Structure 1
C-alpha cells in the first residue's frame, strides 16, 4: 500500500532524507576532527596526521569517506596531497558544532568582542 502525500509533505520528506544523508557523513569523530582542521584552510595529509594525531591508514579511510560525500577535495602537488573543504554547508555546520562543543565561554566571549 502506497501512501499519497501532499506536495508539501513530499518535499519535506525529500529534504529530510537529504539532511539525514548529510548528517550521516559526520558520524565518526575522526571525520569531524578532519573537517574542523580544514575549516581553517587547506592542509596536507602529513599536516593532518601530525595535527590530529591520526595514523595514516585511518586518516586515509576517513578522507575517502569525506571525498565520497563531496565534503572535501584534494589536489596533488609534487609528492604531497592537500585537502580543502568543497562544500560551504560543511564549513557552516562545523563552525556551529565548534561553537557548541569546543569553545569555552571565555573564548566565545572574546570572539564576540572582536
Structure 2
C-alpha cells in the first residue's frame, strides 16, 4: 500500500505543473510533434518544453517516436487517460 501511495503521489506531482498538464491534455487527442505541443503551452521556451517532455517520458507517461529529425509524442500509460477523465468530469463541467 505504501508503494502504491508513493506512485500516485509521484504522478500527481508531475501533473501538478500547469505546463505538463497542458501537454498531457493535448496528447489525449492523439500523438503530436514538438511544434504542435509548443503551440499548446503559450510562451514556453523550447528548452523548457524539452525538460517537461523529458520528465513525463522519464516517468513512463509518454513515449516518443523519432522519424528523421522529427519526434512525435504520445501517451504511454493508459491509466493517465482515466485519471484525466475523472479530473475533467469533476473540475471542468460542461457549460
Q: Give the TM-score, by structure 1 length.
A: 0.73
Match of 1:21 in 2: 10
| 1:97 equivalenced with 2:87 (yes/no) | yes
Consecutive unaligned residues of structure 2, counting only runs of 5 or more, are: none
Q: Which consecutive residues of structure 1, in runs of 5 or more, have no partner in the other structure?
A: 1-11, 107-114
The CA RMSD measured in Å over matched residues stands at 1.5
Q: C-alpha displacement at 1:63, in angstroms?
A: 0.4
Structure 1 stretches of 4+ moved >4 Å: none
- Residue 77 of structure 1, aligned match among 67, 73, 77: 67
Number of matched residues? Answer: 94
Offset from partner CA, 1:57-90 (integer Å, 9 cap, x none): 1111100100111000101112211000000011
Distance 1:19 1:35 in 2: 16
CA distance in 2, matches of 1:51, 1:70: 21
